[in-house]
Structure 1
Amino acid sequence: MSDNDVTPGDAAFRQPRWEQAGTAELKQLAESRPEELYEAAEQLCRSAFREGPEGLSAARAVGRIADALADTRSRDCARFAVAIVELLLPLGPERRAESNRVGRSVAETLVKSQQLRDLEVLFGELPERLDDPAVEVRACVLGELAMIGAGRGRPALDAYAERLRELGHPLARLPRTRLDVEHRFGVRVRGLGSVKTPDQLRSRFPEIPPTDSGAAVGRTAVESHDAERAATVAEPFTVSGWSREPEARFFALPGPLDPDDFNIAFVKELPLDCLEGEGTRRGGALTCHTTPDDVINELFAAAHNGGVNGQGQGAEYARLHAWNSLYALMGLPDDIPFPEAVRHAADCRWLRFMAFTDWFHHDTADVAFAVLDPSGTRVTVLAATDTDADARV
């Protein structure tokens, strides 16, 4: 590449040139001339505010430049990457998803690639309000640092995190380090993908046999409706674009349910859309016992990985959506401290279940949980399914 190819005033430096630039090319420029790469992004940001394909293409090109700078270990590159995000975040609603994606991607890359001392200098000035574009990307960086247990004890980072709590930033309510119950977040084990068959479910979790007494109690369950709580339970799936609206339902029982009766016979008596027509298709429904760490990991993975009709969230927001959902599953108010919520989760009884109905696809991903509260009188059910079958058709 000649010097003329990377001169800001040259025609080759304009938007079409940067849409075609490869990752290696951007990385090379980030290492050798980060200032010029920042100037290119600054010019492209003007086009990113336009409506239509041209504006979206420019926003994506800006995002690639910001990622390249964030991935280059240098205090200047870190500073330029954050400055680019600050320019891009004020985009209007039609570009909000793209600007948020860029900000979260840059935050993740910064934490993976930069030294902590070079990130710390980004937090020297405390924010006055949340709508400042400089705030969001720094909140995401703090969220990413929390995922790896870094940053606590650094005065600038601690002061910034405290200010975010004072201002009410949603990420600020999360712990500054990963809890034990979150140990599986982002961990992929070879051969352990989504559960699609009964044999897969049985191989990972202990199956619970049905009981006639469980079915009898299931018929006494009374549903309670709470649209706001249901939306929060479903949050990890809806924000990431799973192909079908999840089902979240709440039931009360006249008396405590024997834990042994919390099984598929009980669940099948509940008026669930996901079980409608159960028994008419080949394959039997079943329940298995599971644990809170499995449940919250599935919630995190749903938000982080994204559905076939959407895109994944940054780890810090996937973590927030997972905790919001878990709290709602247990019916806990937001002000309950996290350690207390973890203890409450351990006192609940958690099930995974699987059925063969028109609701489930057994294709890309199916998730179905039921939770019995410690009193044994309240049950929450969550079922979600994702598929690209319609797209293939």
Structure 2
Amino acid sequence: MEDAKDDLGGLVRSQAERRAAQGDARYVRELGSRLADRYASTAERLREYEHQLAHVVRVLALTPGRDSLVELLQFLDEKRPSGYGVLPRFVASLLAEHHQAADLAATVFDHREWDRLDDLRACLFNELVLRGVDIDVFPPLRSWPQVRPGWHPLAWLPVRRRDIEANVDFPSRSINGSASGVPGGLPAAGRMDPPTPRTSERSALRDIATTAIHENIVAAVQAGDWGDCDAWVFIPDEAIAPEQVPELLPTLPMPCVDGLGPTNRFQIAIRPVDEIWRLLFATASMGGMGNSGVHAAYGRLWAWRSIAGLSGAPAGASAEEVERQAQQSTWFHFEADTEWFHNDIGSDYGIAALSPDCRRLAVLAAMDAD
């Protein structure tokens, strides 16, 4: 390729097709090799720029005070950088953790500026609501539900923190690191472990979950990018009493309990719905091993979606309707020693929801692994 010029783009356009037609396939292959090498080098440089941009944004977001806020917002509005480290949901999470609500309300929600930052505002509003900020105290926050884009996915969420959201976990971040974790393990209170040996007879019930219902139930786990998850819905011929659920669950046709012997560990506890919501929210917002989840605003959305699917709320239900259905349901948290589960504390769990009429049992199993 002695005649190859440094302008690879020009060579590709002017030489590749002609040389191939002349039978010089080697020339074309070597041209491709040079292009591949340059592509790899450029991609590496782009990744490094992304890391550096993310660090700049993190420094500004974690530095308290209106000066840093204004500079960050101006940068995001003017340059609109891309990459995970500058996503609005991530930046909003950092701001909510490290800045005063008064500063955020007066600066970020000032609609005279930053007209391209509605996604950031939508995420930040939900971050603040979950942290217990009273939006009525701050006029810019109070007016946001009236001026926010109706098409935004987060517009479905309630504008005030609901009772089932009152006990949530957030990560702790600094300039160079972070700490987070999904609450794991069964509590001592509410335990309903069935006696052993359990029956080895399998239930005749069959899963009737539609694709849409399945997607709703697993929404929080998939958003958190956990290792594996699955969901099932069973409709018994007769109503199931809550006290019957612990003995029924190990017999159901679900891969998560396949191979569970009569004396293998199967532990279960009845839980209040707010603790189930807390678990689903942490799963989605903080993520599984090797990732940081979708953060609080979208974690809130996907936790609500999973609660809706598990509780059997009708399609198109409002958050208030979902909460009412969930509060009237009976909730269980279980663990089992089977091959499907990873069986490390905080890395797997099962959730079951019995409908208010006791004629529908929905199950979610989640497992995370490195």
Class of the TM-score when normalised by the shorter of the 2 chains? 0.7 to 0.9
- AA aligned to 2:92 is A
> Displacement, 1:82?
2.3
Among 242, 245, 256, the residue aligned to 1:259: 242
Q: Is residue 209 from structure 1 mapped to residue 194 from structure 2 by the alignment?
A: yes
Q: What is the match of residue 123 of structure 1?
A: 109
Distance 2:267 2:273 in 1: 19
Among 59, 67, 78, the residue aligned to 1:76: 67
* Conservation of the 8 A alpha-carbon contact between 1:353 and 1:369: yes
* Conservation of the 8 A alpha-carbon contact between 2:182 and 2:282: no
* Conservation of the 8 A alpha-carbon contact between 1:296 and 1:326: yes
Q: What is the match of residue 60 of structure 1?
A: 51
Give the 3-state SS of the residue equivalent to 1:250 in structure 2.
strand
* Conservation of the 8 A alpha-carbon contact between 1:351 and 1:370: yes
> Displacement, 1:266?
0.7
Distance 1:250 1:258 in 2: 16
Q: Deviations over 1:83-110 (max 9, x none)?
A: 333456563xxx4x4442xx33322232
> Displacement, 1:275?
0.9
Distance 1:87 1:160 in 2: 22
Provide closer, same or farther for how the CA distance between residues 368 and 51 of structure 1 changes in structure 2, counting only shifts above 3 A.
Answer: farther
Q: What is the match of residue 14 of structure 2?
A: none
Q: What is the match of residue 270 of structure 1?
A: 252
Among 285, 292, 304, the residue aligned to 1:323: 304
Q: Deviations over 1:335-366 (max 9, x none)?
A: 43434433322221111222111101112511
Q: Is residue 372 from structure 1 mapped to residue 354 from structure 2 by the alignment?
A: yes
Q: Deviations over 1:356-393 (max 9, x none)?
A: 111011125111011110111111110001122xxxxx
Among 142, 166, 169, the residue aligned to 1:183: 166
Percent of aligned pairs with the same amino acid: 27
For residues 287-326 of structure 1, what are the structure 2 equivalents within 5 Å?
287-326=268-307
> Displacement, 1:212?
11
> Displacement, 1:300?
0.7
Provide closer, same or farther for how the CA distance between residues 248 and 51 of structure 1 changes in structure 2, counting only shifts above 3 A.
Answer: farther
For residues 211-250 of structure 1, what are the structure 2 equivalents within 5 Å?
219-244=203-228, 246-250=229-233
Distance 1:210 1:379 in 2: 21
Q: Deviations over 1:17-62 (max 9, x none)?
A: xxxxxxxxxxxxxxxxxxxxxxxxxxxxxxxxx9623222212221
* Conservation of the 8 A alpha-carbon contact between 1:236 and 1:302: yes
Max radius of gyration: which structure?
2
Aligned Cα root-mean-square deviation (Å): 3.2
* Conservation of the 8 A alpha-carbon contact between 1:148 and 1:177: no
> Displacement, 1:286?
3.0
* Conservation of the 8 A alpha-carbon contact between 1:107 and 1:141: yes
Among 184, 190, 215, the residue aligned to 1:194: 184
Distance 1:375 1:211 in 2: 29
* Conservation of the 8 A alpha-carbon contact between 1:88 and 1:99: no
Distance 1:115 1:291 in 2: 32
Among 360, 363, 368, the residue aligned to 1:381: 363
* Conservation of the 8 A alpha-carbon contact between 2:281 and 2:303: yes
> Displacement, 1:299?
0.3
Q: What is the match of residue 265 of structure 2?
A: 284
Q: Which has the higher helix share?
A: 1
Provide closer, same or farther for how the CA distance between residues 239 and 337 of structure 1 changes in structure 2, counting only shifts above 3 A.
Answer: closer
Paired positions, count: 318
Q: Is residue 134 from structure 1 mapped to residue 117 from structure 2 by the alignment?
A: yes
Give 5+ residue unaligned stretches, structure 2. Answer: 1-40, 172-180
- AA aligned to 1:104 is R
Distance 1:271 1:126 in 2: 58
TM-score, normalised to structure 1, is 0.72
Give 5+ residue unaligned stretches, structure 1. Answer: 1-49, 196-200, 389-393
* Conservation of the 8 A alpha-carbon contact between 2:333 and 2:351: yes
